[in-house]
Every structure is written in C-alpha cells, then in structure tokens.
Amino acid sequence: MLESGCRLEHPAAAKFRQHVMDGDWAKADIDLNELKPLLEGSPHSLVEMKFLLLEQKYLEYLEDSRALDALHVLRYELTPLKHNTMRVHELSRYP
C-alpha cells in the first residue's frame, strides 16, 4: 500500500501473481478465472494471460526434467488454445 492508502493491485491479481511465483498452476488457473470480470472488455487478454501462464508451466516442467508433464501441457493445454501457434511450434523444439 502507498502512503495514500491506495492499493497497488487488485487482491485477485496479487493472489494470481503469488500462485504463479509459487508454481501452483492449478490455483493460478482458478485465480485467472476470478480475474475474468476485470477483463470483460478484452477477451483476447484473458486468452493471452492463459497462454503465458501455460507457457511458463511448460518451461518450468522442462527445467525440472519433467519432459512428459511438459509434453502434456504442450499438447493438451497450450495447443487447444489456438493462440500464438508460431510460439507453440517454437516451444515444441525446446530440448
């Protein structure tokens, strides 16, 4: 909080950020759905946020040597979004 008493971010956004930082993907996904009303005027933003969340999940699974989990995210979570397919193809080439 600033000295003025103004919040810097919406509580749902703060919760979402913390769950992402903790790698708690299930809770982050729930939080993202809670943010949906704040993004009513921009449905593309919600898809973009979901994509970025799943991309991070995929990359962290790769980093943790969880190749099968990463592949599952790529095939069954990222690809069905039909968003930024060039990036999905790029991600599929990661070791």
> What are the distances in angstroms from CA 12 to CA 41, 43, 50, 61?
18, 18, 15, 25
- Phi/psi region, residue 15 (left: phi>0; alpha: psi -120 to 50; beta: rest), is alpha
Question: What pLDDT is recorded for position 53?
Answer: 97
Across the range 25-31, mean pLDDT stands at 96
Read off the tokens for 64: 């943790």
CB of 43 closer than 8 Å to CB of 60: no
**Contact between residue 21 and residue 13 where contact means Cβ atoms under 8 Å apart:** no
Residue 84 binned pLDDT confidence (cut-offs 50, 70, 90): very high
Q: pTM for this structure?
A: 0.85
